[in-house]
Structure 1
Amino acid sequence: MLKTSLVRLATLAALSSSAVASLACEQLRMATGGIVVSVTDGDTVELDDGRIVRMIGTQAPKLPLGRDNFETWPLAPEAKTALEAMALNKPVRLGFGGEQIDRYGRTLAHVFVEAADGEIWAQREMVAKGLARVYSFPDNRACLELLFAAEGRARLARLGIWADPYYSVRLADAPGDLLSRAGHYELVEGRILLAEKRGGRVYLNFGRFWKEDFTAVIEGAALRIFTEAGIDPLVLNGALVRIRGWVDDRDGPRIELTHPEQIEVLATQ
C-alpha cells in the first residue's frame, strides 16, 4: 500500500510527543548525539562536537544562509525560532534510518531532544506545528508514516505554513499554475488519467495532452525501489493521489518520483 488507512493515521497523529518518540525508535539505530549549540534554520542544528545535523525526513521553510538572490521563504524565521526554543543548549540523541552523511558532510538523522517529560522527536514536533513538511529521499525513508500523520493533522488545522498560499496543495488540473512553480518543492493533488510504462519509465498522466498537462515520472532506477517495496504504480489508473516533489518543466510541468513515499493514495475510484 502507498498510504496507511485514515484511521491509522488519525491514531498516530493523536499520540503524545514522547509516545511518538518511543515508537519511532523501533525503526532507528539510536546513537549518542550531544548538546545543540546552534540552530541554522528549521531543520538543521549544530552539536557541541562540531557535527551539523540535517533533520532528515522534513523540510522547513528556507532561509538565504548567505546565498545570493535567495528569497526567504514565508515562516522561515518562525521555524528557526521554534526549533531554537525546542532544542538549543539541550542534549539530544540521534536516530539513523538510512544514509548517515550527505554530500555536504552533514549528519542525516532524526533528532530526539531530552525534555522533562521524556524525549521530544524534533522532526515530528516541527511538522505537527505546521513549521515543516515531510520531505524524504530514496535512501532515507524511516518513520515517514508517523510524519505524514502529523503533517495531515497540521494541514487540516491550517497551522503554520498550511495557512500560507505559498505552501498550498496545488491542483494537477491547473498546469499553468504548476509551471509558475517550476523549481519549487510542491504537493500536487489530482486524479491519474493514465498510468503507462514506456521506454523503461512509468508515466502517471494527469491530463490528455502530455506536452502540456501535469505528469509524474518514475525512472528505471526508481522503479526498482517500487518493485522492492511490492508496489506496482501501473495499478494507479483512475486513483486520486497527492504527489510531492520538485516541479520542473519538461513537456509541461512534471515531478520525478524516486521512491514510493512521494505518492499518497487518497482514493482508488
Structure 2
Amino acid sequence: MPGQAQDPASGGRGAACLAASAFLHPFPALLAALIGAILPQDRAAAAGMGASCRAGEFREDSLAGIGVRGELILSSGRRAVLSDLRWSDEPMIEAQARSWLESFRGAPLLLRERGPEDRWGRRRIDALVGEAEPVDLAGGLIAAGLAYADAGEADGLCRSALRGLEEAPRAAGRGVWAEGTIAATDVARLARRSGRFAVVEGRILAIGERPARTYLDFVRRGEQGLTVTVQKRTWRSLAEHGLSAATLRGRLVRIRGMIETGRGPVIDLVGAEDIEVVEGERALRR
C-alpha cells in the first residue's frame, strides 16, 4: 500500500525514519515537533549559505509520478527534485531507486521547498512520507546506497547529516558503493568515469599553490593519477574550514566531483564539502 514501503537499506525504515508520528494530521503541536526534529541538523549547514538553502514553509502534497533522473511529479502539478541528493547514473541502481520512490505514489507528502527554481522550473525539496513512521525520502535513498548525498548545483549541503548516512552502504559495498570508492591512483577506473560524477580516495602527496588555483596531487611527479584543482575562492573557503596546505599534505582524503580527462584525470573541487579528511577510517576497499 502507498506509504507502507520498506526502507531498502535494512528491510525496515531504519535511518530514514524520523522521531515523529502522524505528522500529516493538522495538529500544530505535532507539526511543531516534526519541524523541531528536522531543523537542528541543518541550521549549522545552512548558516552563511546563500539562497539555495533557504527553506520555505512546510506544506502537504502527494506523489503523482517519477520523471527522468528522480524528478518528482507532484499532484499539485509542480515538479521537484530531492535536495542534497545526487541521482545515480547506473541503470540498475537508478531502476531500484525509481522503484522505491514509486512505492510511495499517491501517499501524502509533507514537504518544504529550498531556494529558487532551477533552470528546468523545478524546486529542490525536503520530503517526508508516511503517517505512522515518517520516512525522509532523500535519507532513505542515501541509506540504501541508491544515491549520494551531494549539493549538486546548490551552494552546499543544506542538511549535512545526510552525508553520514553514506557510511553504512559504503562499508557494506551496497548500491553506488558496490565497487568500493575509486582509488586516486586507479587510472583505469578514473578513465571509465570520465565526464561522470565519482567519489575518489587517496593520500595527498603534494600541494602546489598558484595565484589562480591550487593543485592537489595524489601521485609522484611522472606517475599517472588524479589531480584535484581548487579555484582561489574555494581554496579560501577550505581555509575557513581549517583545511590548508599545512593540514592537508600527507592526509588521506575523500574527494567527490565530476572527472574530466586532460593529460590525466582531474576533478575541479566545487566546494569545501567535496573534500573529507578520512584519516583513521578503515583502509580503502579495493
Task: Report if TM-score (shorter chain) is over 0.5.
Answer: yes
Paired AA for residue 213 in structure 1? G
Q: Distance in 2 between matches of 1:212 and 1:94?
A: 46
Counterpart among 157, 182, 188 of residue 172 in structure 2: 157
Q: Which consecutive unaligned segments of at least 5 residues does structure 1 have?
A: 1-13, 63-71
Q: 1:120 aligns with which of 120, 126, 135?
A: 135
User: Which residue does the alignment assign to 1:80?
Assistant: 98
The 3-state SS of whatever aligns with 2:91 is coil
Structure with higher Rg: it is 2
The aligned runs of 1:186-197 (5 Å cut-off) are 186-197=198-209
Deviation (angstroms), 1:100: 3.2
| Cα distance in structure 2, aligned partners of 1:148 and 1:169 | 15
Shift of 1:61: 2.5
* Bigger proportion of residues as strand: 1
Write out per-residue CA displacement over residues 181-225 of structure 1, whole angstroms, 9 at most, x where no aligned residue: 211111111100012311221211101237843111111232344
Query: Which of 244, 251, 276 does residue 233 from structure 1 map onto?
Result: 244
1:44 matched residue in structure 2? 71
The correspondence of residues 122-201 of structure 1 with structure 2, limited to 5 A, is 122-137=137-152, 138-144=154-160, 146-163=161-178, 165=179, 168-201=180-213
Residue 128 of structure 1, CA deviation: 1.0
Q: Secondary structure at the match of 1:75?
A: helix
CA contact (8 A) 1:239 1:268 kept: no
Taking the aligned partners of 1:120 and 1:91, their CA distance within structure 2 comes to 11
In structure 2, the residue corresponding to 1:199 is in which secondary structure? coil
Q: Which residue is equivalent to 2:9?
A: none
What does the per-residue CA deviation read over 1:207-250, in whole Å, with 9 as the maximum and x for residues that have no partner?
Answer: 123784311111123234435x4333322000101111110012
Q: CA deviation at 1:95?
A: 3.4
- Give matches, 1:185-264, under 5 Å: 185-209=197-221, 212-227=224-239, 229-234=240-245, 235-264=247-276
Q: Does 1:106 align with 2:118?
A: no
Q: Distance in 2 between matches of 1:194 and 1:24?
A: 40
Question: Which position in structure 1 is the counterpart of 2:82?
Answer: 55
User: How far off is 1:180 after superposition?
Assistant: 2.7
Superposed CA RMSD: 2.6
1:210–1:252 contact (8 Å) kept in structure 2: no
* Aligned mates of 2:148, 2:101 — CA distance in 1: 14
- CA displacement at 1:75 relative to structure 2: 2.0
Task: Tell me the equivalent position of 2:4.
Answer: none
Tell me the TM-score normalized by structure 2. 0.74
Percent identical: 25
Residue from 260, 266, 269 that aligns with 2:278: 266
Query: 1: distance between equivalents of 2:57 and 2:133?
Result: 16
Stretch moving more, 154-163 or 20-29:
20-29
For residues 182 and 139 of structure 2, the distance between their equivalents in structure 1, rounded to whole angstroms, comes to: 23
- Give the Å deviation of 1:109: 1.6
Alignment partner, residue 25 of structure 1: 39
User: CA 1:89–1:217 in 2, change beyond 3 Å: closer, same or farther?
Assistant: same
Alignment-derived partner of residue 6 in structure 1: none
Alpha-carbon contact 2:15-2:165 (below 8 Å) kept: no
Given that 1:34 and 1:93 are in contact with CA atoms closer than 8 Å, whether structure 2 keeps it comes out as yes
**CA separation of 1:123/1:60 partners in 2, compared to 1, >3 Å: closer, same or farther?**
same
CA offsets 1:135-181 (integer angstroms, 9 cap, x no match): 2245141112x222111111212333333x3xx31111122331232
Aligned partner of 1:9 in structure 2 is none
* Distance of 2:223 and 2:127 partners within structure 1: 43
Q: Secondary structure of 1:59's match?
A: strand
* Structure 2 residue identity aligned to 1:232: L
Listed one character per residue, the Cα deviations across residues 104-125 of structure 1 (whole Å, up to 9, x for unaligned) are 2111122122x13242110001
1:66 counterpart residue number: none
Counterpart CA distance in 2 for 1:108 and 1:41 is: 15
How far apart in 1 are the matches of 2:169 and 2:222? 34
